[in-house]
């Protein structure tokens, strides 16, 4: 079933452009700020927004994103409140929204209830960090995700046989984690991105988004020439922490993100 993620990637392909994915922590510094920021990012050229659901015990997040989650939790963010924010955001923008989360909050909420409510709120995809495809086959309740796209991760250490397994269960796009370890800004991109993206393409026709470590327009452009989308998270979240109390918080974040999105879009021109 086609949704906003598929539609946006189709538009990008037609324009011969790579897309830009901005990751932000929902509720950092407040849910009201999130509701203002997401439409502003879309207006500034962001193609997809990943909303991180704040969680107290993350596995894949580096210190910057952990601190973002802590700030959001301290400000009162919960999964229910994040979904309510998405409903309000949908009144302002049609930008594709992907929830980036862990399995624990979803099971506490109720797995089927979560997916029904997320879809009704206007979420387009879910990236569950600690849900491997093997578990879907073993747990029938995980198979029905309604109209939400199930985004899958592939890492530099993923062997080709497992890439094929992951790709078969993926929807929307593949998120290639370009570095081992956790999220965080890097001064230099991994050398293996082009080779790994080419290997993943052998196993899927889905778009491939590349993230982890990208923090400058130059890096975004380099990745955009090799992948279908560029993901930037920690560099944005760090600035959210720095400017969270500023009256012009949204403007400061947008001024950082807009050149990254432009670089991704113009890289192939």
**Catalytically active residues, by annotation:** 50, 61
The torsion of the CA quartet 92, 97, 103, 104, rounded to 10 degrees, works out to -20
Structure tokens given for 36 = 């203002």
Cα dist from 51 to 85, 141, 157, 220, 251, whole Å: 11, 24, 26, 20, 19
Cα dist from 178 to 91, 168, 188, whole Å: 34, 20, 11
What is d(CA 201, CA 194) in angstroms, rounded to the nearest whole number? 11
What is d(CA 173, CA 204) in angstroms, rounded to the nearest whole number? 9
Q: What is the CA radius of gyration of the chain?
A: 17
What is d(CA 66, CA 196) in angstroms, rounded to the nearest whole number? 27
Type and span of the H or E element at 152: strand 152-154
Type and span of the H or E element at 128: strand 125-128
CB distance 16 to 263 below 8 Å = no
CB distance 54 to 72 below 8 Å = yes
Q: Is 179 helix (H, G, I), strand (E, B) or coil?
A: coil
């Amino acid at each position: 079933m086609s949704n906003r993620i598929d539609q946006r990637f189709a538009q990008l392909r037609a324009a011969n452009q790579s897309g830009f994915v901005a990751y932000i922590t929902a509720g950092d510094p407040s849910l009201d700020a999130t509701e203002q920021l997401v439409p502003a990012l879309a207006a500034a050229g962001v193609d997809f927004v990943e909303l991180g659901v704040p969680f107290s015990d993350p596995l894949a997040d580096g210190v910057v994103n952990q601190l973002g989650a802590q700030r959001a939790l301290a400000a009162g963010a919960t999964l229910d409140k994040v979904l309510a924010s998405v409903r309000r955001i949908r009144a302002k923008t049609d930008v594709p929204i992907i929830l980036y989360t862990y399995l624990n909050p979803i099971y506490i909420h109720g797995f089927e209830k979560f997916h029904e409510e997320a879809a009704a709120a206007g979420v387009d995809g879910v990236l569950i960090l600690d849900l491997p495809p093997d578990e879907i086959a073993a747990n029938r309740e995980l198979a029905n995700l309604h109209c939400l796209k199930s985004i899958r991760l592939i890492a530099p250490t993923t062997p080709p046989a497992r890439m094929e397994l992951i790709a078969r269960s993926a929807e929307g796009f593949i998120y290639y984690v370009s570095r081992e370890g956790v999220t965080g800004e890097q001064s230099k991109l991994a050398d293996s991105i082009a080779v790994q993206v080419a290997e993943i393409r052998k196993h899927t026709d889905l778009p491939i988004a590349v993230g982890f470590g990208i923090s400058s327009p130059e890096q975004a452009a380099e990745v955009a020439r090799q992948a279908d989308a560029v993901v930037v998270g920690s560099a944005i979240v760090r600035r959210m922490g720095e400017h969270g109390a500023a009256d012009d918080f949204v403007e400061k974040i947008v001024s950082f993100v807009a050149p990254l999105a432009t670089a991704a879009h113009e890289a192939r021109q």
